[in-house]
Amino acid sequence: MYKILVVDDEEKIREVIREYATFEGYEVVDAIDGMDAIKICKEQDFDIIVMDIMMPRLDGFSTIKEIRKTKNIPVIMLSARGEEYDKLFGFELGIDDYVVKPFSPKELMARINAVLSRTKTNDKTKKENNYVYEDMQIDMLGRVVYIDNEKIELTPKEYELLVYLVVNKNIALSREKILNEVWGYDFYGEDRTVDTHIKMLRNSLGKYRDKIVTVRGMGYKFEE
Amino acid sequence: MYKILVVDDEEKIREVIREYATFEGYEVVDAIDGMDAIKICKEQDFDIIVMDIMMPRLDGFSTIKEIRKTKNIPVIMLSARGEEYDKLFGFELGIDDYVVKPFSPKELMARINAVLSRTKTNDKTKKENNYVYEDMQIDMLGRVVYIDNEKIELTPKEYELLVYLVVNKNIALSREKILNEVWGYDFYGEDRTVDTHIKMLRNSLGKYRDKIVTVRGMGYKFEE
DNA sequence: TATAATTGTGATAATTTAGTGATAGACATG
DNA sequence: CATGTCTATCACTAAATTATCACAATTATA
């Protein structure tokens, strides 16, 4: 369950956000201004902060700056129409999104969801040249795979298949899609060819053979 | 081109909205009250509905409730200033936004655009989206369902059936429609096959088995 | 209440699907 | 050309899934 900190001096706004966010299964904590938010953040951790820019005592930007000194939490800013708008673009602390007041509560929720799913799956999109999982390493530059620091021998197809599965880990891939992506769109062979190569790849992967999971009625996926 | 249904008993308001919306390239259809709106919705599909709350014969909330029985169309509500009570109602019904009367037509248009761009991009990524309800999550990319963070085992048909019900949540679906959508139009088996799969799906869903509600004389629905 | 209609469910047979060993052709190499 | 490697397909098996039926349970109706 995700935990949201809502920072706004208007009670009505806090209430509306709380209502919708609670409904969607979030845990909501309120703060009435920046000072309050900083204090609360010292005690608790949040998955995301929704914060007004214009607030008494301490404005949203300064508050974020302060909080970010110790914690890297995604932030959605609320800003009045026109006001401060341009500041957001040049803002050196990475604001994840902004919503202009008056906003649609459902839209705000959609953005919160979007930011969370984006930040929570950030590591997925890291397109690195190396993939490391426990004792398995794939060196995509050298086209080599190591298990327990031992180089394992893979045929070209096995290697390509493995890389494709790993790059799309945790995604169920149909045989058709696998054929298209690994074999190419001009391959007109059987579906089941994939099965055979999965079989061989599994054998090559030794103790990691079960990382390749069968998705019945569909295809396969690499499960991390 | 998007199609809007405008429901308001005041002709002047309908006219203003029509003018602005037409100008922005929308196709506009009018309804003078809730009954009218329901009738029109049976004949046509819309991308969004803009509806007054206070109307003779049938108020906005009841109208939406009725329309949502068969269609999941985004809704923006028009409410007179001070009508506080309805916000709670609305959020249970999944109202996408509110605009308080008297409103600026420009603002209304901005909100219409916002809601549409959100819901339409959602459609695109629907298959990549996750559905979360309390302790149940459906990972449509990974084709997995978790309850209490435990992966639950579903057969392909169970999974597809669940996804279909959830995507059309709160809508009563006939056996025939379910067969057509989940089994495909080329399936010529019994109606009751659905029943059996509902049974198995319910068993798999454990504590959420009652989310799948029997609609007597009709079929089933997933009730959120 | 009795009766009819509808839905729930256990059992099971039929069907579908995936795992796998064998095999033949393709291809490259020496 | 002989050899070894890689690849795609096939055939067979085991296992999982599915559709149907029969009867029980429930709900609606007369």
Q: Is the pLDDT of residue A147 over 80?
A: yes
Query: What pairs with residue B31 in β-bridges?
Result: B7
| B194 CA – C16 C1', rounded, Å | 18
Which pLDDT belongs to residue A200? 95
- The answer to whether B91 contacts chain A (CB < 8 Å) is yes
The residues spanned by each domain of chain A are: 3-120, 130-222
Residue B117 in tokens: 């761009």
Which pLDDT belongs to residue B207? 93
Residue A44 in tokens: 């608790």
Report DSSP state, residue A33: S
The domains spanning A3-120 and A130-222 adopt the same CATH topology: no
- The answer to whether B127 contacts chain A (CB < 8 Å) is no
Q: What average pLDDT does the structure give for chain B? A: 87
Residues B93-104 have a mean pLDDT of 78
Q: What distance in Å separates the CA atoms of residue A59 and residue B189, rounded to the nearest whole number?
A: 65
Tell me the pTM: 0.71
Residue B62 in tokens: 């009841």
Interface contact flag, B97 A104, Cβ < 8 Å: yes
The listed CATH number (1.20.120.640, 3.40.50.2300, 1.10.150.120, 3.20.20.70) that belongs to domain B3-124: 3.40.50.2300
Q: What distance in Å separates the CA atoms of residue A165 and residue A171, rounded to the nearest whole number?
A: 8
Measured CA to C1', what is the nucleotide nearest A220? C18
pLDDT digits (tens, 9 = 90+) for B19-42: 999 998 999 999 999 999 999 999
A223 beta carbon to strand C: under 7 Å: no
Out of B130-139, B187-196, B211-220, which region has the weakest mean confidence (pLDDT)?
Answer: B130-139
For domain B127-222, the question of CATH label 1.10.10.10 is answered with yes
Which pLDDT belongs to residue A104? 76
Residues of A in contact with B156 (CB under 8 A): 216-218
Report DSSP state, residue A222: E
CATH top-level class of A130-222: mainly alpha
Residues A26-42 have a mean pLDDT of 92
Residue A49 in tokens: 């902060």
Q: Are A47 and A73 in contact (CB under 8 A)?
A: yes
B184 beta carbon to strand C: under 7 Å: no
Annotate chain B with three-state secondary structure: CCEEEEECCCHHHHHHHHHHHHHCCCEEEEECCHHHHHHHHHHCCCCEEEEECCCCCCCHHHHHHHHCCCCCCCEEEEEECCCCHHHHHHHHHCCCEEEEECCCHHHHHHHHHHHHHHHHHHHHCHHHCEEEECCEEEECCCCEEEECCEEECCCHHHHHHHHHHHHCCCCCEEHHHHHHHHHCCCCCCCCCHHHHHHHHHHHHHHHHHHHEEEECCCEEEECC
Residues of B in contact with A2 (CB under 8 A): none
For domain A3-120, the question of CATH label 3.40.1280.10 is answered with no
Report DSSP state, residue A94: -
